[in-house]
Amino acid sequence: MMMSQRAMLVALLCAAWILPGLIGRDPWKPDEAHTFGVVYELLRGGSWVVPTLAGEPFVEKPPLTTWMKSGPSEYGFYSNVNPDVDHPRWSQKFERRIGEFRKRRTLMFNGYGDQVASLYSGMDLKKYF
């Protein structure tokens, strides 16, 4: 008798935990099948760079990265291109490279100015940090 009461209590606790989440909304997102399909193809041996769905590139909705989720207003697309524009919480003027003890001044375009400066021509790099 004691075991059936314990099983009933566990079942009631599970129901109390699950049911409020099911009432008033869909139990899954409408695009869950897409997500499952992309993950399935990745695990099956698909491309890890460009997600695919049914063999076609699936780039309709970009993946939500940790940086985009934690601070979407902190990191713009052009982050750390202009070291003279400070990040909202710290300065980008200096950097410490891996294996070096001292900090050094951050170069414009992270030192790739010769190769990429033309991509940013005509842009206000203080506005679009």
Residues 89, 127 within the same domain: yes
In degrees and rounded to multiples of 5, residue 53 shows phi and psi of: -135, 120
In degrees and rounded to multiples of 5, residue 80 shows phi and psi of: 60, 25
In a domain, 101, yes or no: yes
Residue 42 has pLDDT above 90, yes or no: no
- Of 9-18, 81-90, 109-118, give the lowest mean pLDDT range: 81-90
Cβ neighbours of 38 (radius 10 Å): 19
Residues 69, 85 within the same domain: yes
3-state secondary structure of 15: helix
Residue 100 has pLDDT above 80, yes or no: yes
**Position 46 confidence tier, pLDDT thresholds 50, 70, 90:** low
- Residue ranges making up the domain that contains 70: 65-129
How high is the pLDDT of residue 27?
Answer: 62
**Position 102 confidence tier, pLDDT thresholds 50, 70, 90:** very high
In a domain, 16, yes or no: no
Residues 51, 99 within the same domain: no
DSSP state, residue 25? S
What is the pLDDT of the chain when averaged over all its residues? Answer: 76
Residue 55 has pLDDT above 60, yes or no: yes
Residue 66 has pLDDT above 70, yes or no: no
